[in-house]
């Protein structure tokens, strides 16, 4: 997410699992608005009060919040793994390639989301306001952009997206209270690689990191796979610290 991206990113990731869990057992379409609600609640109750204290305070509070959400899920659903009542399909074979139904669903959903977000950010008045707040909140306020409202809407959208990612991840593997933690490193790596604040960059980054991790198993033992994304982060910081698609370098 471009808007307020850096602060909210981590909390989104950390709370992902909980959104997925919250969703369990309810209608598919309900998940999105529920998570949007939880995200907005987090914003109203916590983040809006801390917004002026710098991004690190927000990061730390997101750590605390993720502990709370994770354990609400544990309290309500217990520890055992859960599953969506969703039929797993055999792959379609196409010239020796195996294509999974879930992979297809995931790809389509993600592409649709990227297009929607791009449209939203670059063509709608709301998107313009979001970008303005992200670039320079003070200036945006002077121009009459209501920061609080924009932030809240942004959180809703981010909530929907994380809910979606939680559902997709749940389809892919199993759902348990620790789900969200497992995705942290690759997602950060993807965001940095793409350049913080660029949705297209994030997608390209995610694809590159994913491919790098999976392909590394050809040369590396599989148990070292998770190190690959960290190495990519370090290498990028050395060479090109604004990522592939990032705007201006974010130096101090």
Binding to another protein (CB under 8 A): which residues in 59-98?
59-61, 63-68, 70-72, 74-75, 78-83, 85-91, 93, 98
Query: Rounded CA gap, 54 and 6, in Å?
Result: 11
Q: How many residues bind another protein (CB under 8 A)?
A: 80
Shortest distance (Å) from residue 119 CB to another protein: 27
Query: Rounded CA gap, 242 and 245, in Å?
Result: 7
Could you say whether residue 114 binds another protein (CB under 8 A)?
no
Piece in contact with another protein (CB under 8 A), picked from 121-129, 148-156, 158-166, 185-193: 185-193
Query: Rounded CA gap, 130 and 138, in Å?
Result: 13
Cβ within 8 Å of residue 32, ≥6 positions away: 160, 163, 164
Which of 195, 193, 170, 194 lies closest to 180, judged by CA? 170
Site track 31-60 with another protein (rule: CB under 8 A), x = hit:
---------------x--xx--xxxxx-xx
Could you say whether residue 102 binds another protein (CB under 8 A)?
yes
CB 89 within 8 A of CB 105: no
CB 81 within 8 A of CB 174: yes
Q: Residue 138 or residue 251: which is nearer to another protein going by CB?
A: 251
- One-letter-per-residue 3-state SS of 15-55: HHHHHHHHHCCCCHHHHHHHHHHHHHHHHHHHHHHHHHHCH
The residue within the footprint of another protein, chosen from 1, 2, 3, 10 (CB under 8 A), is 10
Query: Rounded CA gap, 220 and 59, in Å?
Result: 33
> At 218, phi and psi to the nearest 5?
-70, -35
The residue within the footprint of another protein, chosen from 96, 219, 239, 252 (CB under 8 A), is 252
Sort strands 92-94 and 97-99 into parallel, antiparallel or unpaired: antiparallel
Cβ within 8 Å of residue 127, ≥6 positions away: 119, 120, 121
Shortest distance (Å) from residue 168 CB to another protein: 12
CB 92 within 8 A of CB 37: no
**C-alpha radius of gyration, the chain, whole number:** 19
Shortest distance (Å) from residue 6 CB to another protein: 5
Q: Residue 31 or residue 233: which is nearer to another protein going by CB?
A: 233
Could you say whether residue 20 binds another protein (CB under 8 A)?
no
The residue within the footprint of another protein, chosen from 123, 148, 149, 226 (CB under 8 A), is 226
Site track 139-178 with another protein (rule: CB under 8 A), x = hit:
------------------------------x--xxx-xxx
Piece in contact with another protein (CB under 8 A), picked from 17-25, 29-37, 110-118, 212-220: 212-220
């Amino acid at each position: 997410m471009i808007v307020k991206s850096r602060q909210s990113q981590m909390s989104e990731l950390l709370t992902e699992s909980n959104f997925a869990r919250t969703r369990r057992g309810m209608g598919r379409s309900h998940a999105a608005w529920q998570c949007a609600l939880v995200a907005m609640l987090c914003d109203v109750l916590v983040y809006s009060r801390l917004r002026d204290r710098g991004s690190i305070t927000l990061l730390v509070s997101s750590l605390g919040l993720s502990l709370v959400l994770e354990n609400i899920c544990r309290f309500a659903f217990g520890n055992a793994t859960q599953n969506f009542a969703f039929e797993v399909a055999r792959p379609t074979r196409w010239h020796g390639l195996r294509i999974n139904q879930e992979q297809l669903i995931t790809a389509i959903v993600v592409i649709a989301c990227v297009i929607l977000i791009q449209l939203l950010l670059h063509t709608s008045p709301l998107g313009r306001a979001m970008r303005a707040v992200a670039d320079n909140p003070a200036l945006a306020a002077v121009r009459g952009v209501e920061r609080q409202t924009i932030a809240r809407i942004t959180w809703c959208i981010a909530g929907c997206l994380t809910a979606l990612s939680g559902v997709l991840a749940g389809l892919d593997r199993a759902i348990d209270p620790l789900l969200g933690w497992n995705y942290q490193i690759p997602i950060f790596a993807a965001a940095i690689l793409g350049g913080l604040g660029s949705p297209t960059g994030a997608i390209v980054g995610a694809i590159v990191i994913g491919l790098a991790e999976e392909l590394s198993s050809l040369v590396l033992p599989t148990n070292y796979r998770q190190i690959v994304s960290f190495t990519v982060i370090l290498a990028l910081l050395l060479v090109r610290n604004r990522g592939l698609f990032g705007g201006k370098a974010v130096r101090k």
